[in-house]
Amino acid sequence: MKTNLSVIIPTYNEAENIKMLIPRIHRVLNNTSYEIIVVDDSSPDGTPEVAKKLSESYPVRVFVRNQKLGLASAIVHGFENATGEILGVIDADLQHPPEYIINFIEKIREGYDIVIGSRYVKGGRIEGWGLKRKILSRGAIMLAKPLAKKVKDPMSGYFFIRRHVIEGIDFKLMGYKLLLEILVKGKYRGVAEVPYVFRERQNGESKLGRNEIANYIKLLAHLYMYKIWR
């Protein structure tokens, strides 16, 4: 059955967090035609089983992949299986408060093609990060600035788009942040940034490591070449 909105949640070892996240999303979208798509990379902590149990009470569809293939590819897998005209992405770890979703939808209805949850516009902020994490984040944004000049937070993992934005994109999926690739390759006009407060992770461990940083550098190289040759 088609829906107006598909919310994609990529997961790996997020069993405790999605128990809280999915009911919170439902409270925001209860009067909306929506679906939640959980894409899990065979979490050993029972995340798929928790998500499937939640599907008995909420409009949740669960896709389990055979191995850990990464965040960006999980999101694209969700896009490919979504039925909504509006596609949203939210992390499972509760660092993206779902109560902001209504603000994103309002902006989409105003005519924007991409709406980004931004930590770096007025009213947005980050809670709980140390100096090293803040420097890494700012450094990643500076490296990406020539690719997405007008966007303050191109590294956000919290965003909503109209489906046509990603039609025909050949995703390379080299980085852990998909939004930057969408901003470079997507078909869109208006982009809005909605301020939000990035919270501390509730349970589990951060997925950011050296491999993800190396993949981000590879993605940047690919996108700069793409801009040059397109």
Pair 21, 92: CB distance under 8 Å: yes
Token duo for residue 151: 């966007």
Which whole number is the average pLDDT over 55-62? 97
> How high is the pLDDT of residue 68?
80
pLDDT class for 97, splitting at 50, 70, 90? very high
pTM of the model as a whole: 0.91
Q: What percent of the chain has pLDDT over 90?
A: 76
Res 202: pLDDT: 61
At residue 71, does pLDDT exceed 60?
Answer: yes
pLDDT at 67 over 90: no
Q: What is the pLDDT of residue 161?
A: 98
Closest CA to 210 of 179, 178, 180, 176: 176
- What mean pLDDT is predicted for residues 135-151? 90
Q: Measuring CA to CA, which residue among 137, 121, 138 is closest to residue 191?
A: 121
Q: Tens digit of pLDDT for each residue in 196-230?
A: 999 876 665 555 556 778 888 899 999 999 988 87
Whether residue 5 is predicted with pLDDT greater than 90 in this model: the reply is: yes
Mean pLDDT of 113-117: 98
Residue 204 · residue 13 · CB < 8 Å: yes
Cα-trace Rg, the chain: 17
For the domain made up of 5-229, the CATH class stated in words is: alpha beta
- Report H helices in the chain: 15-29, 47-54, 71-81, 101-109, 131-144, 179-185, 210-229
Q: Name the strand (E) or helix (H) holding 89.
A: strand 86-89
Highest mean pLDDT among 18-22, 139-143, 197-201, 226-230: 18-22
The predicted structure's pLDDT at residue 201:
66
Reply yes or no on whether the pLDDT at 134 is more than 90: no
Residue 84 has pLDDT above 90, yes or no: yes
Does the pLDDT value for residue 126 go beyond 70?
yes
Question: How deeply is 152 buried, as exposed, middle or buried, from its count of CB atoms within 10 A (0-12, 13-18, 19+)?
Answer: middle
Q: Is 80 exceeded by the pLDDT of residue 175?
A: no
Mean predicted lDDT score pLDDT of the chain: 91
How long is the chain? 230
Q: How far is CA 171 from the centre of its chain?
A: 15
Q: What is the rounded average pLDDT of the residues 94-118? A: 96
Residue 86 pLDDT greater than 70, yes or no: yes
